[in-house]
């Protein structure tokens, strides 16, 4: 019938009554009074017990989650508790949340009016990809009248949910890019050189379409405005190259740089496919990882997401030489290569510069690497001691090295983005749109 839990007030009251009983026993004239009090208390406990056990089968609870959770985004778990018993109850909700969330508190305490539904939302933010197990749901009920006893209602709602690269961010940036107010969202509008010249389809007119593209024959035949839709005569191959080396293990906002890159790779792959280009994926560290050929078929985004979900940081130095060999063998057509990596010093960069130049010779290479935001804060802090001066000088030196790497990439004809992790996706999108608008490939 479930577990019974006695509240602390129960023991406090019971201790007081027993003390009264013992004191009264010493004075026979009060003994009858103490017996009546103890008997009344026992009756209250029994009534409370019977009420709760009659109410227990009439309590229902549900937990609502999506089929998948998005990495690094705030999402809600929705709880519904229904009290179908004949009297009001007090409720206390506890959920067996996944260990990855590190959440050990009770979810909520609330009143449960009779024949009413009570709702509650809990915000979670998954920071690790993988399978999350949500266990049983517990609703501890007590009567609103006495509240001496709690009865646990246990609901077997165990389920496994995958935490995948952020679908929320993917949809958010898709809306930003293709909305009429894109510039207000940080997406730069760049004038397209030339016109799209390859006929794709005839479709219904939508607000904002070019009226010069109206197909008058189709319009008269269907009795509604139809337009000719065109696309670029040459779809481009766009590959995301994701570095899984030890430098990508660095954390920012509870996610590693690898996780930020994975989220961004999914975002840009979706934009690429929506722009009628072909999206592909390559991951690498000291050995090659996933490799998906650039295509534009309907299942391509799902294939890319599945591979991104599986990637893990390797605690090795990444081999750009191996990457260069693999790209030369596997990618024959000139393509846009978006390389997500991280150079922390000049030595690391100079060692790999020849391979970056080789990649850029055959393709249009965009190197994306990261600003160390912790060092940026240190470089701007006020100095009060000699130690603060040393720390600030060191931080500024590292920041300067990053800027010098960006300058040297540019002097070698290699496109680059030096960005904060939280600005990664929008900066990559803007550069890709610039490549397309200027037809740089």
The CATH number given to whatever domain includes residue 420 is: 3.40.50.410
Torsion of CA 187, 193, 195, 197, to 10 degrees: -100
213 and 326 part of one domain: no
Strand residues in 244-387 grouped as ranges (E): 251-252, 255-256, 278-284, 288-295, 336-340, 364-370
154 and 171 part of one domain: no
DSSP 233: S
Laid out side by side, the sheet with 149-155 consists of 4-6, 149-155, 137-143, 89-95, 108-112
108 belongs to a structural domain: yes
Alpha-carbon 386 to chain mean position: 41
Cut 0.95: pTM above it: no
Residues written for the chain: 441
119 and 62 part of one domain: yes
279 and 175 part of one domain: yes
**Backbone conformation region of residue 372, classed left if phi is above 0, alpha if psi is from -120 to 50, else beta:** beta
256 and 283 part of one domain: yes
62 and 150 part of one domain: yes
Contact yes or no for 241/340 (Cβ under 8 A): yes
204 and 156 part of one domain: no
216 and 350 part of one domain: no
373 belongs to a structural domain: yes
409 belongs to a structural domain: yes
Tell me the residue range of the domain where 258 lies: 167-188+235-438
9 belongs to a structural domain: yes
pLDDT at 1: 44
158 and 171 part of one domain: no
217 and 289 part of one domain: no
193 belongs to a structural domain: no
84 and 210 part of one domain: no
Could you give the number of structural domains in the chain? 3
176 and 212 part of one domain: no
132 belongs to a structural domain: yes
Consecutive sets of 10 residues in the chain, 441 residues long: mean pLDDT of each? 55 61 59 65 73 81 93 95 88 92 86 90 94 94 77 91 95 86 59 53 81 87 86 78 94 93 97 94 95 94 96 89 96 96 91 96 96 83 85 86 94 96 94 89 76
261 belongs to a structural domain: yes
pLDDT at 133: 96
Cα angle 247-421-178, degrees, rounded to a multiple of 5: 135
Instruction: Report the relative pairing of strands 159-164 and 288-295 from DSSP bridges.
Output: unpaired
């Amino acid at each position: 019938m479930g577990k019974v839990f006695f509240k602390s007030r129960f023991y406090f009251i019971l201790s007081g009554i027993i003390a009264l009983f013992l004191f009264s026993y010493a004075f026979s004239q009060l003994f009858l009074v103490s017996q009546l009090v103890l008997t009344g208390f026992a009756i209250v406990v029994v009534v409370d017990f019977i009420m709760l056990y009659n109410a227990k089968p009439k309590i229902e609870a549900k937990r609502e989650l999506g089929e998948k959770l998005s990495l690094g985004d705030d999402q809600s778990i929705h709880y519904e508790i229904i009290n179908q018993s004949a009297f009001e109850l007090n409720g206390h909700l506890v959920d067996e949340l996944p260990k990855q969330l590190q959440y050990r508190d009770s979810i909520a305490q609330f009143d449960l009016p009779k024949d009413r539904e009570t709702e509650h939302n809990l915000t979670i933010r998954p920071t690790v990809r993988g399978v999350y197990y949500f266990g049983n749901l517990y609703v501890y009920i007590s009567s609103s009248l006495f509240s001496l006893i709690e009865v646990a209602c246990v609901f077997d709602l165990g389920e496994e949910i995958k935490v995948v690269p952020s679908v929320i961010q993917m949809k958010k940036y898709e809306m930003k890019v293709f909305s009429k107010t894109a510039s207000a969202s940080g997406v730069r509008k760049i004038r397209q050189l030339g016109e799209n010249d390859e006929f794709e389809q005839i479709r219904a007119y939508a607000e904002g379409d070019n009226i010069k593209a109206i197909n008058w024959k189709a319009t008269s035949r269907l009795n509604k405005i139809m337009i000719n839709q065109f696309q670029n005569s040459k779809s481009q191959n766009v590959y995301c190259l994701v570095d899984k080396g030890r430098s990508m293990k660095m954390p920012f906002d509870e996610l590693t740089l690898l996780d930020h890159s994975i989220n961004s790779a999914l975002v840009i792959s979706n934009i690429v496919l929506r722009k009628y280009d072909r999206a592909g994926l390559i991951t690498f560290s000291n050995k090659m990882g996933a490799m998906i050929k650039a295509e534009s078929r309907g299942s391509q985004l799902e294939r890319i997401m599945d591979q991104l979900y599986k990637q893990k940081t390797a605690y090795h130095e990444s081999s750009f030489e191996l990457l260069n060999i693999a790209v030369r063998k596997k990618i024959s057509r000139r393509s846009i290569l978006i390389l997500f990596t991280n150079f922390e010093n000049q030595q690391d960069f100079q060692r790999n510069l020849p391979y970056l130049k080789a990649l850029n010779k055959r393709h249009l290479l965009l190197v994306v690497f990261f600003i160390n935001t912790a060092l940026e804060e240190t470089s701007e802090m006020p100095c009060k001691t000699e130690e603060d001066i040393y720390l600030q000088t060191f931080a500024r030196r590292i920041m300067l090295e990053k800027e010098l790497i960006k300058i040297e990439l540019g002097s070698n004809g290699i496109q680059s983005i030096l960005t904060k992790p939280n600005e990664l996706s929008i900066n990559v999108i803007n550069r890709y749109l610039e490549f397309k608008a200027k037809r740089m490939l």
